[in-house]
């Protein structure tokens, strides 16, 4: 099973976006929305199906308010459940922006809406911080897309401070090392939920799918659709249907590269935005 990214500039737009993903056959949807009183919000895309958070040229400044976010996010998921019910999974990404006690408050406020997971609730460098969150909420926690080795997530797994480990093929030493992480996680009933953003090419997605089907504690796979231009550069055999990605029957990972097509798209720099508080202070991205 995979999940897609539904987002909107306001609550109503985000609720409608979730509905569109359900119509496409998704059984799990990550929901993000603009926060009232803030002009921009990370996780809210300019495009709706082909979501890309990076912008070309200089990094974009975005404004953040923890207080406004904490007050708003339960209303978002209440509206989604009221409109679309409980027969599908909902996910949410906090993007590392909260302190542990703030994250605990958000997790507790979201319990009635039965989230599949709350992702990156706080920066994971201080891993004991996850213990504080865990002690206050039963909302499942997912973390790890920026981890590089099994040692980055070992304590979180062994102490059962997370429910899903989000390490991915391209960041964590390839399939062999990722399988070691999955094997450790299996012992502690922690499942996988590999990162699958658009800056990871279809080559990475093909490898991730073969990893997913090979581990017994597979949980879910992030699936951010690539643009038609990207798909043309990377012809692939995996396909989406009924909420699942199918690896296909081709040899290897089932993904190729068309170098002549790739030459039509020279490299252009792009950056994730910079988050600032309303007073201009730099904050976690």
Active site residues: 42, 95
Is 99 in a helix, a strand, or coil?
coil
CA 266, chain centre distance (Å): 27
58/159 Cα distance (integer angstroms): 41
Of 174, 198, 3, the C-alpha closest to 89 is: 3
108/137 Cα distance (integer angstroms): 5
The β-bridge relationship of strands 282-283 and 274-277 is antiparallel
Is 43 in a helix, a strand, or coil?
coil
CA 174, chain centre distance (Å): 19
Task: Name the H helices within the chain.
Answer: 11-23, 66-84, 100-109, 129-136, 150-158, 174-187, 202-212, 228-233, 259-262
């Amino acid at each position: 099973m995979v999940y897609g990214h539904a987002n909107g500039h306001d609550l109503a737009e985000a609720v409608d976006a979730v509905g569109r993903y359900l119509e496409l056959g998704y059984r799990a949807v990550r929901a993000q929305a603009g926060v009232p009183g803030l002009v921009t919000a990370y996780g809210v895309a300019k495009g709706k199906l082909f979501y890309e958070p990076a912008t070309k040229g200089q990094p974009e400044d975005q404004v953040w308010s923890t207080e406004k976010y904490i007050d708003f996010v339960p209303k978002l998921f209440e509206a989604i459940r009221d409109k679309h019910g409980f027969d599908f999974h909902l996910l949410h990404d906090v993007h590392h922006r909260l302190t542990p006690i703030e994250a605990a408050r958000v997790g507790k406020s979201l319990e009635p809406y039965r989230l599949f997971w709350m992702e990156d609730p706080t920066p994971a460098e201080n891993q004991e911080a996850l213990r504080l969150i865990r002690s206050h909420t039963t909302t499942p926690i997912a973390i790890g897309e920026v981890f590089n080795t099994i040692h980055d997530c070992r304590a979180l797994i062994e102490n059962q401070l997370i429910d899903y480990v989000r390490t991915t093929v391209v960041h964590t030493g390839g399939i062999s090392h990722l399988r070691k992480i999955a094997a450790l996680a299996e012992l502690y009933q922690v499942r996988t939920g590999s990162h699958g953003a658009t800056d990871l090419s279809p080559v990475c997605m093909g490898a991730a799918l073969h990893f997913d089907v090979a581990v017994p504690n597979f949980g879910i796979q992030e699936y951010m659709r690539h643009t038609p231009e990207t798909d043309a550069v990377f012809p692939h055999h995996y396909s989406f249907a009924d909420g699942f990605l199918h690896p296909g029957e081709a040899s290897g990972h089932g993904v190729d590269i068309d170098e002549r097509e790739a030459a039509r798209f020279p490299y252009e720099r792009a950056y994730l935005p910079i988050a600032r508080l309303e007073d201009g202070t730099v904050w976690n991205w």
